[in-house]
Amino acid sequence: MLGLSRSDLLMLLFVLFLVAAAPILLNPFPEASRFAQFNAGYPDLMQRFVIFAIFAVGFNILFGLTGYLSFGHAAFLGAGSYAGVWMLKLLTINVLPAIIVSTLVAGVFSLIIGYISLRRSGIYFSILTLAFAQMSFALAASVLTPITGGETGLQTALNDPRILDGASSGTGNIPAPALFGLEMRDSIQIDFGGWLWTFNVGYYLSAFILLVAFYLSIRIFRSPFGMMLKAIKSNNQRLSYTGINPRPYTLAAFVISGMYAGLAGGLMVAMDPLAGAERMQWTASGEVVLMVILGGVGSLVGPVLGAGLIKYAENIFSKINESLLTQWFAFMPEGLTDFMVTIVSPFVGKGWHLSLGLMFMLVVTFLPGGLIGGVTGLFGRIFGRRSKAQGE
Amino acid sequence: MSALEVRGVNKRFGGLQALNDVNLTVEEGRIHAIIGPNGAGKSTLLNCFVGRLTPDSGTVMFHGKSLLGIQPYEINQAGVSRVFQTPEIFSDLTVLENVMIPALAHRDGKFEFNALRPMRREKDIQKLAVDVLEDLGMPDKHDMIASSMSRGDKRRLEMAMGLVQDPKLLLLDEPTAGMSRADTNNTIEVLRHIGDSRGITMIIIEHDMHVVFSLADRISVLAQGTVIVEDQPENIKGNVKVQEAYLGGAQ
C-alpha cells in the first residue's frame, strides 16, 4: 500500500500512532502529581517535537544517505522562517502559502549553497557549509535588517498589507496565523480524571506535515535514487567508474534536505509568527546533527526519536531546579539529601547541556547505530532477530 | 574491425617513463591479454583507458571516439566497464545492491531523479543482477553485506558488476588473483562463455599464464612501458624476447 513494503507501512503507522496520540502519551502524569513537570504534552513543546523531527528527517536524507555532513542547515531553516513571516505579512495570515513559499525559498537557497559547497567533500565540505551559514547569520543580523528585522527579529504587525485578507485586522488585534480560519493556537482541552489533555490545531497540522515528510523520506530511502546516495557514502570513486555522475545526486539530496529545513522553518513561524537571526546560528545547525546521530544516522525513525529526545531534555531537564531536587531527595537522611542535590544539580536546570553531552557520549561510544540501533538490537536479542528491518 | 585503438601513448611519473610509445589494437569481440613482468606498466595503461590517468601524449580511440579528457562515468556510459585489481565494491551494501547499481547506471544513464520509484518494483534490474550472480556461481549470497565476503568472492562480485552492464569493452585487471584453483577455472569458464555468447571485447591483465592461455585470442607483452611483442598465443610461448623480458624483470 502507498508504494511501501509491509514493514515500512507498519513503521509509518507506528509513527502515525505516536504523533496522533502524543497529547495523551506525553502527559503520563496527572496534573496534581509531583511528576507533572515531566509532562511534555503541551502544545508549544509538542509543536517543537514534530517541527524539529521534520528538520532532522530531512537532514538525514543528506547526512544519513550520502555521508556529507553539513554544518549549515540552520541557514535554510532561518531562510524558510523569514520567507514564511513575509508571506504572513504581505499575502495572507493563512499559513498555507507561508509554508509552501518557505520550502521553495529554502530550496533555491540550498541549491546555490549546495552547488558551491559540493565542489569539495569531507571536512572541507562541512567547513564550507558552516562558513555560508555563519555568513547568512551575520548578514541577517546586520546588513539585511530591512528584510530580516535585524537583532529584534521579524514579526507580523497590525498595519501589514496582507493583500488577500487585509480586512481581517479590523478587530484592532494582530491576526493569529490560521489555516482557512482555524487558528493555530486554538486547542481543545479535555479533563480526564486527573489528567489534562490538550489537542492543539497547530500541533496537528505540523504532525500531519511530519507524516507526509516522513512518508516521502521512506520513499526516497527505498528508491533507486536513494540507493545511489548510499553508494556515494560507501564508495564515491567506484560509483563514477560505474557510469554514475555523483555530483547531481548529492546536490539533489542537499536541496531536498534544505527544503525539509525550510519547511520546518515555515512551520515554526506558522505556529508563532516571529523569526530571528539566531535561528541561523551554527549552534542550531549543530543541534540537528546531534539529533540525527543520537537517534541513529541513516535509519528512518532515528531522527524523529533524536529530535524528540533533545527537545525534551532542553525543555524539561532545564526546568528542574535545586529546591525541586531537595524535595525529591527529602526522604533520605539529611546529609545524604544535600549530597544527592549537590551531585545531581549540575546536570539539570541550566546544566541540562551536561546531561545531553553525557548521553551523546554514551550513545556514540556504546551504540554506533544510535538509539534506534540500540532498541532494534535489544528487540533482536529478545525476539531472535525477527524485527531487524524496523530501523534500517 | 578494431574496438580500441591506442596510438603512441606516453606517460611519465617524475623520472620514470611508465609508458613509452605504446600502440595497441584490440579487435572487436576478441579477448586480448596484456602480460608482462611486475612494473611493466600494465595497470597504468588500463588506467589511461578509464579516465583515472591522462597520458602525456598519444590517443586512445574507442569505436572512433576518444576516451581522453572525459570523465570516468562518461567512459563507462560509452560502454567500457572495468574490473579493478583490488576489489572496489560498495562494501556496506548487500551483494545484490552492489550488482543492481551498475545495472541501473547502464539502463538510466549518469543521472536519473527517480526518488519516488520503489526499488522493489525494479523487477527487471533485480532479475539481471540475480542472473549474473548465478552465472558467477554466487546464487545464495544476495543479502550478504559485501565487506563480509572472502577476497575471491569480492573479485567475482566485481566481475558481476562489470558484466551486468553488458559492456562493449570489459577491462579485467587480474580477475583471478586471490581465487582458489576451482574458482579460477570457473571464472575462465564464465568469461569464455560470455565472450562467445555475447561477443564482448575484453582486455585482460593477468599473471596466471593458465588463465591467459585459456582465454586470450591475442597477447601483447609489455616490458618497461613498451609493447615488445604482439602475437597469437601459440607464438608467444616460444618467443625469445618474451623470455628475456620475464627473466630480466626477475633480476
Give me the DSSP letters along chain B.
Answer: -EEEEEEEEEEEETTEEEEEEEEEEEETT-EEEEE-STTSSHHHHHHHHTTSS--SEEEEEETTEE-TTS-HHHHHHTTEEEE-SS----TTSBHHHHHHHHHHHHHH-S----TTS-GGG-HHHHHHHHHHHHHTT-TT-TTSBGGGS-HHHHHHHHHHHHHTT--SEEEEESTTTT--HHHHHHHHHHHHHHHHHH--EEEEE-S-HHHHHHH-SEEEEEETTEEEEEE-HHHHHT-HHHHHHHHHHH-
Give the model confidence (pLDDT) of B46-58 as tens digits: 999 888 899 999 9
Grade residue A391 by pLDDT with cuts at 50, 70 and 90: very low
Q: Is the pLDDT score of A386 beyond 60? A: no
Rounded to a whole number, what is the distance in Å from the CA of B238 to chain A's nearest CA?
38
Nearest neighbour of A228 by CB, restricted to B84, B101, B161: B101
Given this model, what pLDDT does residue A170 score?
A: 63
Closest C-alpha to A258, from A146, A122, A143, A117:
A117
Across the interface, which of A5, A230, A243 has its CB nearest the CB of B77?
A243
Contact B93 A219 (CB under 8 A): no
Query: Comparing A95-104, A346-355, A359-368, which segment has the lowest mean pLDDT?
Result: A346-355
Report which DSSP code applies to A62: I
Decide if pLDDT at A376 tops 60: yes
Residue A167 pLDDT > 60, yes or no?
Answer: no
What does residue A55 show for φ and ψ, rounded to 5 degrees? -55, -50
**Residue in A237, A239, A242, A256 to test binding to B, most B beta-carbons within 10 Å:** A242
CATH topology of domain A6-319: ABC transporter involved in vitamin B12 uptake, BtuC (1.10.3470)
Q: Are B101 and A227 in contact (CB under 8 A)?
A: yes
Of the pLDDT bands very low, low, confident and very high (cuts 50, 70, 90), residue B40 is confident
Q: What mean pLDDT comes out for the span A305-309?
A: 93
Put simply, the answer to whether B89 touches A235 (Cβ < 8 Å) is yes
In chain B, where are the structural domains located? 1-79+170-251, 91-166
- Asked if the C-beta of B26 comes within 8 angstroms of chain A's C-beta atoms, the answer is no
| pLDDT number for residue A389 | 45
Cell numbers for A20: 496522533
Instruction: List the one residue out of B198, B186, B181, B165 whose CA is nearest residue B83.
Output: B165
Residues of B in contact with A249 (CB under 8 A): 111
Distance from CA of B80 to the nearest CA of A (A): 9
Res B250: pLDDT: 45
Band of residue B24 on the pLDDT scale cut at 50, 70, 90 = very high
Q: From A232, which residue of chain B is nearest by alpha-carbon distance?
A: B90
Between B50, B102, B117, which is nearest A224 by CB?
Answer: B117
Please state the CATH superfamily assignment of the domain spanning residues B1-79+170-251 in this structure. Answer: P-loop containing nucleotide triphosphate hydrolases (3.40.50.300)
Model ipTM value? 0.90
pLDDT band at A388 (very low <50, low <70, confident <90, very high): very low
Average pLDDT, chain B: 90
Q: Which pLDDT score, from 0 to 100, does residue B183 have?
A: 85
The region of weakest confidence among A178-182, A248-252, A261-265, B239-243 is B239-243
pLDDT at A168: 56
Nearest chain A CA: its distance from B197 CA (Å):
23
Confidence of residue A385 (pLDDT cuts 50, 70, 90): low
**pLDDT, averaged across chain A:** 90
